[in-house]
Amino acid sequence: MTTTTGTGQPVRTIAFVAYPGFTMLDMGGPLQVCSALADTVPGFRTVVLGERIEPMGTDTPLSVVPSHTFDEVPDPDVLVVPGGLVPTIAAMADETLLARLRRAAAGASVVASVCTGSLLLAAAGLLEGRKAATHWLFRDMLVPFGATPVADRWVEDGRYVTAAGVSAGIDMALHLVGRLAGEDTARQVQLLIEYDPKPPFGAIDWAAADAARYEPFVKQALTEALAGHPELFARLGG
């Protein structure tokens, strides 16, 4: 969706999708990055879309209120979908939300996701034949929808840009700013938000990450989320 300012300058809309129970940092990190872009460079605005403009719970004690409804911004230029755990898996069976994603994605120049948000894009039929990233515990769940899981911080496949788990959304969003406004602008945004991570315990040792250890956790999440949807439960390996 491209609007105009009072001076007639076109404004590109970057829309974030809110739904009950999403992971706060999945949205908050990229939203901060894209809001800094909008504050720095004329011609961009950020919005948060929901079914209704009312408080919506997240996976933290903090609730959010969307700035607009899907009907108010049906054709964003950029669409960003955050992930989550049980609520996100359950949303894979929410045809109303999936239809909203298909509609918003249809005319978008970029469709992005963070963490298990890519599972929602996959369930909406938008990632078939594409490479995609998601949280490392849920990569295999992309396969039944025709996507190819990639174990990268973020991956770009045409107009689709998908990030790995939670904090990876910040990296993806900075890449997105570079794509939209150039590397110099992305570096400026990175400086403004002082994104220079130095984890106190060092980088993750991926070789020691034991997915099998978390299989009961994943199975329980699937069971809880898809109790009323046995076909989808089976499709995801439940």
pLDDT exceeds cutoff 70 at 167: yes
- What pLDDT band is residue 212 in, cutting at 50, 70 and 90? very high
Q: Does 31 fall in a domain?
A: yes
Q: Does 219 fall in a domain?
A: no
pLDDT exceeds cutoff 90 at 238: no
Residue 120 structural domain:
10-208
pLDDT digits (tens, 9 = 90+) for 178-211: 999 999 999 999 999 999 999 999 999 999 999 9
pTM: 0.95
Cβ–Cβ under 8 Å, residues 70 and 100: yes
pLDDT exceeds cutoff 90 at 3: no
Mean pLDDT of 154-168: 98
Structurally, the chain folds into a number of domains equal to 1
Mean pLDDT of 140-155: 98
Cβ–Cβ under 8 Å, residues 41 and 60: no
Q: What is the pLDDT of residue 2?
A: 57
Report the percent of the chain where pLDDT is more than 70: 97
- Which is it for strands 2-4 and 10-17: parallel, antiparallel or unpaired? antiparallel
pLDDT digits (tens, 9 = 90+) for 13-70: 999 999 999 999 999 999 999 999 999 999 999 999 999 999 999 999 999 999 999 9
Q: Does 215 fall in a domain?
A: no
Annotated catalytic sites, by residue?
A: 115
Q: Does 231 fall in a domain?
A: no
Q: Does 234 fall in a domain?
A: no
CATH number at residue 83: 3.40.50.880
- Average model confidence (pLDDT) across the chain: 96
- What pLDDT band is residue 237 in, cutting at 50, 70 and 90? confident
pLDDT exceeds cutoff 70 at 4: no
Which residues sit opposite 154 in a β-bridge?
163
pLDDT digits (tens, 9 = 90+) for 70-99: 999 999 999 999 999 999 999 999 999 999
User: Percentages helix, strand, coil for the chain, rounded to the nearest 5?
Assistant: 40, 20, 40
CA dihedral 16, 22, 26, 27 (to 10 degrees): 30
Q: Does 2 fall in a domain?
A: no
Q: Does 232 fall in a domain?
A: no
Q: Does 214 fall in a domain?
A: no
